[in-house]
Structure 1
Amino acid sequence: MPPLWYSPKTQKLRPKHKHLKFLNRFFDEFPIIDSSNVKNLQSLDSIYLGQDARIVWSPDENTVAAAAVNDIHLYELGSPARALQVLIGHTEPVNSLAFFPNGAPLASVAQDGTLRLWDPVSGSELLSLDLIPFFNFAPWADWVSFSPDGTQLATFAGQDSTLYIWDAINLGNTPPRAIPWFDHAGPIANVTISPDWQTLAWVSRGTLQLMDFTTTPLMEPPQFADFISQIEFTPNSQTLLVLAAETIHGQYTSVVISYDARTGTRLHTIAFDEFARNFVVGPDGQTLAISSDSGITFWNAVTGKEPAPFISLASIAQILAISPDGSILSSANDRGDINLFAIDSGTLLGTLPGDPGINRLTFRGEGKVLVAEYFDGKIQVWGVKE
């Protein structure tokens, strides 16, 4: 029996996408960014998506969906970018978007209390589901996500401190499984699902809890000295990395701690004499770059060892990204300067003139383009033109 939201176009999106061939040619125009060609990086295009837009990329990274208030806009990456569809239906601001693993449908949750599924090719609405009857007190879902195999869909309702797991195939026909979290002093700030959808990491102020999908706790929750700033699973889902603060020898200390994601065992602690800002994990699950007040240090996320080099910076790196092949680190400061470094040597390879207010840096198209996303809703794309 096909899903309730079935559409022939959603089952074979990639072959039927009318611009797919053009988009593949677009990526093929550029080489993978590496140390030999960084100097040739040029701005390819800028897309303005709207203030505070919620942004998500399609699995093939050719399409970007952006929710600007109630409406969802779809663009194809190109030079210049092309507007594809405007998805209209939500009556309140959209909180989150997620693409199905094969690219369709597109899911959205909004402050109107609904979950909607869309055909991103035709722009038609496939399903509108009122979430309120399934929630305890929450008026809406904060975010939505599909499992890697597309069989499950998760919605998180922060005001319920509950994660709801839905049967994605029978969405709208069967109720979700509720996974609540009650053992905390205050409301849950968020929950993160590991890439393989086997482990949950709950964060409540300065408290962390790892749990499997049977709701079995995997650890005695550690109590940190302050709010947890960042948590990330490694790409292989084996390790959880946490940026927080602990009191060490009577001193408030920034720490990055690694945990075994299967057992909750604390593996390594990286302590800083200064304030640690953020970190990024490379695709290999081992390369760990941490930004602090004086610069960027590299670590092995598995062993906790600090290999060379150390990158000294005049301005704090607020945002970090590592290329898919693990050879280049990109960083952005509050002025909008985007620096690219060779990870093996720490050598500065080049600097791109971005703008203030960068919210995120990512390498797209298997590392052929670098994308900066801004708080004001702009996306800027760079590639190598030789």
Structure 2
Amino acid sequence: MLLAALVALGCHRAQPATTTENVIEPAPADPGPPPAAKPPELVLQTGHAGGVRAAAFSPDGTLVVTTSFDTTAILWDVAIGQILRTFTGHVGTVYAVAFHPDGKRFLTASEDKSAALWDVATGQKLRSFTGHGDAVTAAAFSPDGARIVTASKDKTAALWDVATGQRIRTFIGHANEVYAASFHPGGTQVVTASADKVAILWDVESGQQLRTFTGHTGTIRAAAFNPDGTRIITASEDKTAVLWDAASGQKVRTLVGHTIWLHDAAFSPNGKHIVTASFDRTAVVWDANTGQQLQTLDGHASWVYAAAFSPNGTQVITTSADATAILWDVGTGRAVRTFHGRRDGGLLAAVVGRDGNQIVTAAADRTVTVWDAGTGRLLQTLIGHRDEVNAVSLRPDGKQVVSASLDGSVIVWDVGTGQKVRTLVGHADRTDAVLFINEGRFVFTASLDKTAILWDAETGQRQRTFLGHTRGVTAAALNPADGRQVATASDDATAILWDVNTGQKTRTLAGHGRGVTAVAGQSRRPAGSNRLGGQDGNPLGRNGITTPAFVGHTGEIRAASFTPDGTRVVTASFDGTVRLWDTVTGKELYSLMSFEAKDWFAAEAGKDWLAVTPDGYFQGSPTAEQYLRWRVDDRPGERPRLVGPEQLRETYYRPEVFRRLLGKR
């Protein structure tokens, strides 16, 4: 055996004859110590923070990926309805998703003008497909998984090589935005659908148009082949879906029943059923042969964007603007499971108290929340505004909060009791900024009525009006060095410095190319920290040096504030979280979030709440622990499992961690 091996390796020197009895096999190489087990990874079960745009089943039907306006994709376990992983990387709405035939990868299409290929097991982005001139609205794999087709608002569709990411061909012919693209089961043709009210059949290899499908009177939002490729279904804003003969281009049948736009349509795997999704908040299952309605899937609280059959055809998943996806039983029409999201959690403003011990946030759900920054604990929920709360300020002694809402109201609150102290009335339009100044003796407000007003905080009386901006005033900040100057920012592309005592301008700062949406002042600022800029992207950083990026939010960041010592930044996002960052390194330290309590009496301060670190440490209200799971990957070759807090509490329930991260002892 050894001689044979040597000959095979090209070693031709004469060797003594051997037998299998006297051959000594080499000892196997020492494999070394087993690889270290991965630590459990926290997976928050909070779902999407915006409307859910699309969903796709894995080929084996055990997984679902959903995509959202919140710029993310989420991988769910179908059987238990829990999140396995969140995929971040797009910077715009993710409009579409499709699984690769091997089930190990999936494809997303985004408003950010790109499509992306993702690894299911690791969560890593494998490749980006860039080149479209506008949002990518759809993406699909060829049957063999070697190519993809994308559709775009740039009026084109494109064919790409999966392995290289290179564009192979562009399909040009539509007169308006293209909203759908899908492959023929044989992979030789592609059908596209457009806002020009036309669907087009293309030859994949030549890029030539083969046939045009006309008859819809509104934008066509979806187009798909049946399993044998003989029929095409289209869904339109004209409230109908149309079944077409793929070979002749003739209309076979029109499906009528929805009362508002259709946004999606798909065939079942056996081709016998069609499901349509509509802005009338329903999806409908149809008999493909007769056009009869079989089931109406009614349960969403808002528009239904998409619908897809499971691989075995017995279930349908729908996605909606209500931030949920629902799994339905096709036979009964009943909901089997809801994949929940957060529709009302968006944060619009945040401030840090003078001593760094409190954080106050303002939310789209009409509430103001007071947090203990050292422990992450929710202290108080202030309820009374009738619309989104867009601005907030905390009195230096931490005893009062002033907030402004899109309903036009400005309210002063008592933090201890949660009660209103007074309402400040005087602006002619919405107030976009509020400040306590002079140790809380006065309140400064800035409004879209082009003015700012100084109020007596004790009496609620107007003290002074600041006139000078020519458009709405959108932000305000106090100079902490002297406490006498306030800076205001405006849609007129200027910022103005004012003397609070006299109401006079001391300086006008002009130079931004668009409206200025934020201003900030800070007394102590460590080297390398960030400041804010305007809509035109001009940085207000130090000496033109690029400073750390704070990356982690999955929604638009609406506010940022330094802690008093300048070593931390607090951000508030429309993803529903407040996050604390290290100013120098840009590292996320922890995030805070609150939820509408399912059991109001069991919740603390009227809401459930959580504080979590990137390492998985947490504390929160007892009923909020339902949102916590850790992904444990300790079984080689098998899918990771999810473990709840009841099993890992001893390790990860660490309230003291949060005070240490804030620099407290």
Query: TM range, normalised to the smaller chain?
Result: 0.5 to 0.7
Pick from 214, 234, 240 the counterpart of residue 207 of structure 1. 240
Pick from 130, 150, 159 the counterpart of residue 108 of structure 1. 150
CA positional deviation for 1:175: 3.0
Whose Rg is larger?
A: 2
Task: Work out whether residues 276 and 290 of structure 1, in 8 Å CA contact, stay in contact via their aligned partners in 2.
Answer: no
CA positional deviation for 1:121: 2.2
Match of residue 145 from structure 1: 182
CA positional deviation for 1:238: 0.6
Structure-2 change in CA distance of 1:130 and 1:45 (3 Å) = closer
Per-residue CA deviation, residues 303-349 of structure 1 (Å, 9 max, x unaligned), is xx578xx8xxxxxxxxxxxxxxxxx7352143599xxxxxxxxxxxx
Q: Distance in 1 between matches of 2:203 and 2:641?
A: 43
The TM-score, its normalising length taken from structure 1, stands at: 0.54
Q: In structure 1, what residue type is equivalent to 2:210? A: P
Task: Work out whether residues 200 and 213 of structure 2, in 8 Å CA contact, stay in contact via their aligned partners in 1.
Answer: yes
Pick from 124, 131, 135 the counterpart of residue 93 of structure 1. 135
Pick from 169, 175, 178 the counterpart of residue 128 of structure 1. 169
Task: Work out whether residues 256 and 271 of structure 1, in 8 Å CA contact, stay in contact via their aligned partners in 2.
Answer: yes
Q: In structure 2, what residue type is equivalent to 1:99? A: F
CA positional deviation for 1:237: 1.9
CA positional deviation for 1:54: 4.4
Unaligned runs of 5+ in 2: 1-57, 64-76, 346-594, 596-624, 630-637, 644-665
Structure-2 change in CA distance of 1:275 and 1:178 (3 Å) = same
Q: In structure 1, what residue type is equivalent to 2:170? A: L
Structure-2 change in CA distance of 1:176 and 1:276 (3 Å) = same
SS of the residue aligned with 2:209? Answer: coil
Q: In structure 2, what residue type is equivalent to 1:120? A: V
Pick from 180, 200, 207 the counterpart of residue 164 of structure 1. 200
CA positional deviation for 1:260: 1.8
The alignment yields a C-alpha RMSD, in angstroms, of: 4.6
Q: Distance in 2 between matches of 1:108 and 1:274?
A: 28
Match of residue 88 from structure 2: 47
Match of residue 178 from structure 1: 212
Match of residue 339 from structure 2: 331
Q: Distance in 1 between matches of 2:233 and 2:272?
A: 12
Q: Distance in 2 between matches of 1:245 and 1:117?
A: 30
Per-residue CA deviation, residues 36-74 of structure 1 (Å, 9 max, x unaligned), is xx59x7755643322213453322232344455234443
Q: Distance in 2 between matches of 1:384 and 1:50?
A: 29
CA positional deviation for 1:384: 1.3
Match of residue 269 from structure 2: 235
Q: Distance in 1 between matches of 2:94 and 2:141?
A: 16
Structure-2 change in CA distance of 1:223 and 1:62 (3 Å) = closer
Match of residue 192 from structure 2: 155
Match of residue 121 from structure 2: 78
Match of residue 256 from structure 2: 222
Task: Work out whether residues 54 and 97 of structure 1, in 8 Å CA contact, stay in contact via their aligned partners in 2.
Answer: no
Task: Work out whether residues 289 and 299 of structure 1, in 8 Å CA contact, stay in contact via their aligned partners in 2.
Answer: yes
Structure-2 change in CA distance of 1:83 and 1:215 (3 Å) = closer
Q: Distance in 2 between matches of 1:34 and 1:204?
A: 31
Structure-2 change in CA distance of 1:60 and 1:215 (3 Å) = same
SS of the residue aligned with 1:190? Answer: strand
Structure-2 change in CA distance of 1:287 and 1:76 (3 Å) = closer
CA positional deviation for 1:151: 1.5
Task: Work out whether residues 193 and 220 of structure 2, in 8 Å CA contact, stay in contact via their aligned partners in 1.
Answer: no
Task: Work out whether residues 55 and 64 of structure 1, in 8 Å CA contact, stay in contact via their aligned partners in 2.
Answer: no
Structure-2 change in CA distance of 1:110 and 1:263 (3 Å) = same
Match of residue 371 from structure 2: none
Q: In structure 2, what residue type is equivalent to 1:263? A: T
Match of residue 641 from structure 2: 384
Match of residue 103 from structure 2: 61
Q: In structure 2, what residue type is equivalent to 1:124? A: Q
Task: Work out whether residues 152 and 178 of structure 2, in 8 Å CA contact, stay in contact via their aligned partners in 1.
Answer: yes
Pick from 191, 211, 218 the counterpart of residue 187 of structure 1. 218
Q: In structure 1, what residue type is equivalent to 2:289? A: R
Q: In structure 1, what residue type is equivalent to 2:184? A: S
> How many residues are matched?
274
SS of the residue aligned with 1:142? Answer: strand
SS of the residue aligned with 1:97? Answer: strand
Q: Distance in 2 between matches of 1:65 and 1:288?
A: 20
Q: Distance in 2 between matches of 1:44 and 1:245?
A: 29
Match status 1:285 vs 2:313: yes
Q: Distance in 2 between matches of 1:296 and 1:148?
A: 27
Structure-2 change in CA distance of 1:61 and 1:301 (3 Å) = closer
Task: Work out whether residues 221 and 236 of structure 2, in 8 Å CA contact, stay in contact via their aligned partners in 1.
Answer: yes
Structure-2 change in CA distance of 1:165 and 1:351 (3 Å) = farther
Q: Distance in 1 between matches of 2:300 and 2:151?
A: 39
Q: Distance in 2 between matches of 1:53 and 1:297?
A: 18
Task: Work out whether residues 49 and 66 of structure 1, in 8 Å CA contact, stay in contact via their aligned partners in 2.
Answer: no
Match of residue 5 from structure 2: none
CA positional deviation for 1:164: 0.9
The TM-score, its normalising length taken from structure 2, stands at: 0.34
Q: Distance in 1 between matches of 2:119 and 2:300?
A: 42
Match status 1:268 vs 2:294: yes
Q: Distance in 1 between matches of 2:138 and 2:326?
A: 33
Q: Distance in 2 between matches of 1:45 and 1:245?
A: 27
Q: In structure 1, what residue type is equivalent to 2:121? A: G
CA positional deviation for 1:207: 3.1
Percent of aligned positions with the same letter in both sequences? Answer: 18
Per-residue CA deviation, residues 199-242 of structure 1 (Å, 9 max, x unaligned), is 42443433343333234444465354444476443332211244
Q: In structure 1, what residue type is equivalent to 2:223? A: T
Q: Distance in 1 between matches of 2:256 and 2:245?
A: 17
Which structure is higher in RCO with an 8 Å CA cutoff and minimum separation 6? Answer: 1
SS of the residue aligned with 2:103? Answer: coil
Q: Distance in 1 between matches of 2:235 and 2:188?
A: 23
Task: Work out whether residues 146 and 152 of structure 1, in 8 Å CA contact, stay in contact via their aligned partners in 2.
Answer: yes
SS of the residue aligned with 1:51? Answer: coil
